[in-house]
Structure 1
Amino acid sequence: MEDVLRPLVVIGGSLAITLFIGWAVDWLLRRADARHPETPLWDRLRRCRLPLQVTVCTALLGGSYDKTEAEVVHEHGTAIGRLLALVLIAAAAWLAVRVSSAIVESSYSRYASSAHDPARVRRVRTQVTLIQRVVAAIVGVVAASAMLLTFPTMRTVGTSMLASAGILGVVAGVAAQSTLGNLFAGLQIAFGDMVRIGDTVVVDGEWGTVEEITLTFLSVRTWDERRITMPVSYFTSKPFENWSRGGTQKVATVFFHLDHSAPVEEMRERLGEIVRKSPAWDGRDWNLVVTDTTPSTILVRALITARDPDDAWTVRCEVREKMITWLRDAHPYALPRIATAPAAQPPQTLLEGERGHERRGRHEHFARFEDGLRKDAQGPGRGY
């Protein structure tokens, strides 16, 4: 009977203590969140309840499993102890990642709620995202190393591994040159403020918004919902357009090719009416000028300011559509006219036409000559 109760007491007690600690921590975090609702840290720390319970339960079992005096413990005590140690290391790493993520996210939320500069908020968001990934990577590497060191064979080869670490480092550096380059490029982007999550960029002729930045790659969402994934080293080695850097305001331009008789002054007044009614115009400035002329047309440029690239695209399409409609209905003469003429005939066709004309001319000449001979044979005064 004692052999059955002892394992139940050890395991049941560990589970009971684990559940109590999880409940107590959750209760304390709820109290703190109720007292300070403006601090998002307490609510995010509640997400760490499960890894905390796994860590506590594994630690309690690791320290008391040998007290059960069960046969399976006597036969496989070493394997059970190593298994519990591996689970404890993994759970501790999981808890560390969750806690660090909660702290970083809460700090970013407080900053974003009080900041007034969208560009600076996007910069902090990019840095926070990469910091989370770096912390997760470091914790994962340390946890994996600690789990490997629990095996006696790995401790034995540790000395030889350290002795050859220099050679292995050189080989790994050469083999992973591209990966390491992207890794350092990602850190440079995060803290160099070159590009941020949410920035509008133009890369390789594609216009889109930066959606995700990791330590090795960057994802751009285009206007037609495509995703372009490229290494972060691209942004540190090649030029690209960042329309959000220094502010999101944009100047939209629309060009019209019109006839010289186009009413430019009336077009200017009509443009003013269109932009004043457009919600995409930010109210800063607009104008319309003739920027170029050719022997057949003039080039008229309409310039409209907008809050961001999306509004710039919208107001550009709106102005182009309404101005063309107005010109077509009210001033059709202003639209460019295309002069047309009969198509030139091929040289072979012209040559055949000339030959046919010569043949018809010869036939007519011979007909008149024969008619004259016929009249002369009849004699004077005949035929009248």
Structure 2
Amino acid sequence: MFNKPTLLFLGACLGLLIFSHFFMELVFPKLLRLFHKPSTRKGKQSMNKFSQALKWGVFLAIYPLIGFFLPPPPSLNITQERVFIVLSIILFTWIIIELSNVLRYIFLEKYTFDKEDNLRERRLVTQVAFIRKIFIIAVVVIAFASILMNFDSARRIGTGLLTSAGIMGIIIGFAAQKSIANLLAGFQIAFTQPIRIDDVVVVEGEWGKIEEINLTYVVVQIWDQRRLVLPINYFIEKPFQNWTRTTAAIWGTVFLYVDPTVNVCELKVQLKEILDATPLWDKKVQVLQVTDWTEKTIELRCLMSAKDSPTAFDLRCLVREKLLEFLQKNHPETLPKTRVLLEKETTEIKN
């Protein structure tokens, strides 16, 4: 059973915990509106997580003040104990990490993806995301080292390890050379940027968009919602196609195989009518050419431009459908066919 001083102290701690949460619930949103009001869903989520960390931060910051008014029982006085210091380091690390997330969205909300040429925005998102990941790793490592320094046994172990740090470094370097290579590749990608968030790429024969760029791997969202996960150094060591490297605009092609008797000029006029009638075409490129001729068919290449690769794909499908419909309706005889020539043999009957 707890005695009266212990119960009073525990009650004071519980009251302080409720006060810190209630205070932050009322005050934090008002203070927030003075400085920044998030406009995106992710920005609001980051603010909510930051406020949760601050609620516990306020409680832990005010906790030592209780001792001035209500001295804690010796068995519960953890202010000077290692557990209090460790909890403080963990909480402070949590606050810093959530603050970095808030600052990221405050910075990125100045830029919008809702425009055709969002190359600058995608570049900034890629760099900020990678820098934040490196920052979090550094903060966690420093926090972990600070926790260990509060224990005498860990200090002694650390002093002993210093004598063999060179050998251990070589061993770790050989064992983790692939991970280190991926990390260095991540730095290179973040600043030279052969790929960026939301880039359209073709890798391993798959078309998709860059969804995530992490420290050691990249996630590509395939067109059918599958995810292709690749080591980050793949984009340094192997060739791949980036359809939005400098601009989102792209050209699309449609190949037709028709009979040599087709009227090419009429198809050129029809292609122009199809493109003029659709908002998918950006009115920059429109070409129809004979690119090959075999003994059975001729190859026609239709070239058209669009604002981005998804739009170009839809435009190509539309042009195929409309041109096929036009040929089926108006010139079915020009569709590919196989010719068979029959010759009648005559024989003379000799009397």
Where 1:191 maps in the other structure, the secondary structure is helix
Aligned residue type for 2:277: K
Q: Distance in 2 between matches of 1:110 and 1:21?
A: 32
Q: Structure 2: how far apart are the matches of 1:181 and 1:86?
A: 33
Range moving further from structure 2, 126-135 or 52-61: 52-61
Deviations 1:254-288 (A, max 9, x none): 11111111011111111111112223212222121
SS at match of 1:283: coil
Partner of 1:364: none
**Could you say which residue in structure 1 is the equivalent of 2:237?**
237
Answer yes or no: is 1:222 the counterpart of 2:222.
yes
Are residues 201 and 62 of structure 1, via their aligned partners in 2, closer, same or farther at CA, if it must alter by over 3 Å? same
Matched letter for residue 69 of structure 1: P
Q: What is the CA distance between 1:158 and its match in structure 2? A: 1.8
The superposition leaves residues 309-368 of structure 1 with CA deviations (integer Å, 9 ceiling, x where unpaired) of 1111111111112211211221112112213589xxxxxxxxxxxxxxxxxxxxxxxxxx
Moved more, 276-285 or 238-247: 276-285
Aligned to 1:4: 3
Q: For 1:1-384, what aligned pairs fall within 5 Å after superposition? A: 4-21=3-20, 23-24=22-23, 27-35=26-34, 45=47, 47-61=49-63, 67-70=71-74, 72-73=75-76, 81-112=81-112, 117-340=117-340
Q: Distance in 2 between matches of 1:281 and 1:306?
A: 5
Question: Conserved in 2, the CA contact under 8 Å of 1:40 and 1:106?
Answer: no
Q: Is the 8 A contact 1:89 1:147 kept in 2?
A: yes
% of aligned pairs identical? 33
| 1:250–1:307 Cα contact (<8 Å) kept | yes
How many angstroms apart in 2 are the aligned matches of 1:55 and 1:158? 30
Greater mean deviation of Cα atoms: 313-322 or 147-156: 147-156
* Other structure's SS at 2:110 match: helix
Contact 1:93–1:139 under 8 Å retained in 2: yes
Output the CA distance in 2 between the equivalents of 1:282 and 1:296: 35
- For 1:48, give the aligned amino acid: F
Unpaired runs of 5+ residues, structure 1, are 343-384
DSSP-derived class of the 1:322 partner: helix
SS at match of 1:266: helix
Separation (CA, whole Å) in 2 of partners of 1:99 and 1:22: 18
Q: CA deviation at 1:190?
A: 1.1
Structure 1 residues 197 and 113: alpha-carbon distance in aligned structure 2, compared to 1, 3 A threshold:
closer
Q: CA deviation at 1:54?
A: 2.2
Shift of 1:115: 9.3
Kindly indicate whether the alpha-carbon contact (under 8 Å) linking 1:14 and 1:60 is maintained by their aligned counterparts in 2.
no
SS in 2 for 1:180: helix
Rate the CA distance shift 1:287–1:81 in 2: closer, same or farther, 3 A: same
AA aligned to 2:220 is V
> Max radius of gyration: which structure?
1
Offset of 1:35 from its aligned partner? 4.3
Structure 1 length-normalised TM: 0.78
DSSP 3-state at the match of 1:253: strand
Q: For residues 35 and 48 of structure 1, what CA distance do their matches in structure 2 show?
A: 16
SS at 1:159 equivalent: helix
SS of residue in 1 equivalent to 2:305: strand
1:28, distance to aligned residue in structure 2 (A): 4.9
CA distance in 1, matches of 2:250, 2:109: 28
- Cα-to-partner distance string for 1:32-51 (whole Å, 9 max, x where unaligned): 44445667699655532222
CA distance in 1, matches of 2:133, 2:150: 26
Higher RCO (C-alpha 8 Å, min separation 6): 2
* 3-12 or 272-281, which deviates more: 3-12
Q: How far does residue 105 in structure 1 lie from its aligned partner after superposition?
A: 1.6
8 Å Cα contact 2:36/2:106 also seen in 1? no
Q: Contact conserved, 2:24 with 2:55, CA < 8 A, in 1?
A: no
SS in structure 2 opposite 1:299? strand
Change (3 A) 1:282 1:21: same
Which residue identity lines up with residue 6 of structure 1 in the other structure?
P
Describe the SS at the equivalent of 1:284.
Answer: coil
Secondary structure, aligned partner of 1:245: coil
What is the CA distance between 1:198 and its match in structure 2? 0.3
Q: TM-score, length-normalised on structure 2?
A: 0.85
In terms of fraction of residues, the more helix-rich structure is 1
Deviation at 1:86, TM superposition (A): 2.1
Cα shift at 1:85: 2.3
Secondary structure of 1:97 counterpart: helix
Shift of 1:218: 0.1
Tell me if the contact between 1:11 and 1:61 (Cα under 8 Å) persists in the aligned partners.
Answer: no
2 CA distance for matches of 1:24 and 1:114? 38
CA distance in 2, matches of 1:236, 1:25: 47
**How many angstroms apart in 1 are the aligned matches of 2:249 and 2:307?**
5
AA aligned to 2:56 is: V
Shift of 1:11: 3.8
